[in-house]
């Protein structure tokens, strides 16, 4: 599945499919609620790409003021200054064709419930750690490792 997602995103110029799949994490929930990335187009030199985002007409002025912040966050996702310009494209709230889904961020995934036995085992492993923050982080890590090992 990862290969198909990567191929589809690369066909639209997205070298990082994470930009599409985790858009709300990259730019923030408030910005993700009013726009979507559509395409990345590269100039002749290869660097200094243009990110094209889709929004409604009423939200375009708000996005115009946030271009620098969006660009900084997107470039942080890439790890270098891949995007040098952002172009805003406007459309109706439901997209270009009738019957499309409403224009909004995808619902956040609900965290799976962890087996109480795994939780107890993770707590026992980290009980000697004095720092509360570190102990909680280690418990979470251990629970995730035990859960993943159980599903494989």
| Residue boundaries of the structural domains of the chain | 2-91, 116-151
Radius of gyration of the chain (CA): 20
Taking each helix axis as running N to C, give the angle between helix 116-126 and helix 132-151, from 0 to 180 degrees, rounded to the nearest 10.
140
User: Model's pTM, two decimal places?
Assistant: 0.52
Q: What's the mean pLDDT when you consider all of the chain? A: 77
Tens of pLDDT along 30-64? Answer: 888 888 888 887 777 666 788 888 888 788 898 99
Nearest to 39 by CA among 22, 24, 57, 19: 19
Q: How far apart are CA 129 and CA 118, in angstroms?
A: 18
Q: What is the pLDDT of residue 69?
A: 94
Q: What is the pLDDT of residue 16?
A: 54
Q: What is the pLDDT of residue 41?
A: 78
Q: What is the pLDDT of residue 71?
A: 92
Tens of pLDDT along 25-36? Answer: 889 888 888 888
CATH number of 2-91: 3.30.300
Cβ neighbour number for residue 58 with a 10 Å cutoff: 10
Tell me the pLDDT band of 67, cut-offs 50, 70 and 90: very high
Strands of the sheet containing 49-56, edge to edge, are 35-41, 49-56, 83-91
Q: Out of 5-14, 20-29, 46-55, 101-110, which region has the weakest mean confidence (pLDDT)? A: 5-14
């Amino acid at each position: 599945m990862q290969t198909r997602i990567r191929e589809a995103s690369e066909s639209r110029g997205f070298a990082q499919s994470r930009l599409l799949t985790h858009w709300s994490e990259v730019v923030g929930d408030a910005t993700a609620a009013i726009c979507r990335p559509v395409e990345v187009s590269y100039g002749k030199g290869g660097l200094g790409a243009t990110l094209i985002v889709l929004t409604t007409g009423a939200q375009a002025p708000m996005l115009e003021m946030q271009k620098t912040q969006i660009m900084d966050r997107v470039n942080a996702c890439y790890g270098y200054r891949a995007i040098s310009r952002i172009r805003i494209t406007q459309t109706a709230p439901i997209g270009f064709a009738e019957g499309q889904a409403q224009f909004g961020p995808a619902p956040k995934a609900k965290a799976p419930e962890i087996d109480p036995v795994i939780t107890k085992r993770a707590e026992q492993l980290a009980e000697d750690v004095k720092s509360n923050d570190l102990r909680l982080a280690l418990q979470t890590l251990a629970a995730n490792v035990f859960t993943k090992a159980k599903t494989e």
